[in-house]
Amino acid sequence: IFFEDRKLNMENQTSFELSDIPRIVITSQPSPIWYKDVGVKKDTFLTVGVKLEGQLPLNFEVELKLDLYFEDRKRVGDKFQGILQLCFPDETKSKIIIVNREAREAMFRFRINKVSKSFMNQKFRVRYFADPKGRAEEMAFPSLNEVFSNPIESRSKRPSMAKSRTILPPLPNKESDITQVLKQLQETQAKLSNTHKAMNSALLVLEQFTTRLDAVETVFKERDRRNDQINLRKRKHQAALRSEKPKTKSKRLDNVGINESKIESINAVPKNFFQQSSYISPPSLLCKV
């Protein structure tokens, strides 16, 4: 009995001491999915409730701050800490959140201005901590713990409602509803059959049109083939005419009685032959020839 009473007293003392330790506790978690582009920016934000628990000194007062982490509790780089934006009501002049022995609770309003896809689909966590430069350190008050929010997936917009719509009607509850649904199904079936017939007629028209196009293409090909044959004949005829021209000249010379050898012999006579007085003049020579 003695040992049981002593063990019970030690457990009560331990629980009492743990409950007396000053610490930060999250009273309300933010939404697990955050849509940053929905609504007006100044009116849309995430909210988290934070509270101080435990026994606090009489003049205990500390400033609470927050920064951004990934889901695996690795801190986001300083370059991107600015995407965590604190939001304050218009009537609030001070932008510092201070808690003390009398005012233990605080409400954080914030936005995450980047989507998780920009960070390899990683979710975010928000860390809440007491500023080490606060008044608690100056007055040698006990240091407070840090707490993390639940994972937050940041998205741009909600999925479109049009994608989630279904064509099927709701399930009927009465016999009249069943007959009405059957009638609607019959009407839909009739419309589908009419559409099928229209599609078949359109396909038939397209086939006829393609047949006519093939016939026109055949006519054009035949015309081009005939034009090529006519042009080939013209070129052959012109080549034959060019080859027959020298033969006509030689025939004319033969009819006169002068052949090409005589013309060459006349051309071979020296120039000063006709200038001598003892010889006959060229016109008379040509007449004799």
Residue 144 DSSP class: P
Per the CB < 8 A criterion, the answer to whether 149 and 32 are in contact is no
Model pLDDT, residue 5? 52
41-86 pLDDT, tens digit each: 777 899 999 998 888 888 888 889 999 999 999 999 999 999 999 8
Q: What are the tens digits of pLDDT across the range 20-30?
A: 788 899 999 99
Residue 231, pLDDT above cutoff 80: yes
Q: Of all helices (H) and strands (E), which one includes residue 64?
A: strand 61-70
Q: Where are the alpha helices (DSSP H) in 24-158?
A: 135-138
- Supply the pTM of this predicted model: 0.48
Q: How confident is the model at residue 242 (pLDDT cuts 50, 70, 90)?
A: confident
% of the chain surpassing 70 pLDDT: 66
For residues 128 and 118, what is the distance between their CA atoms, to the nearest angstrom?
24
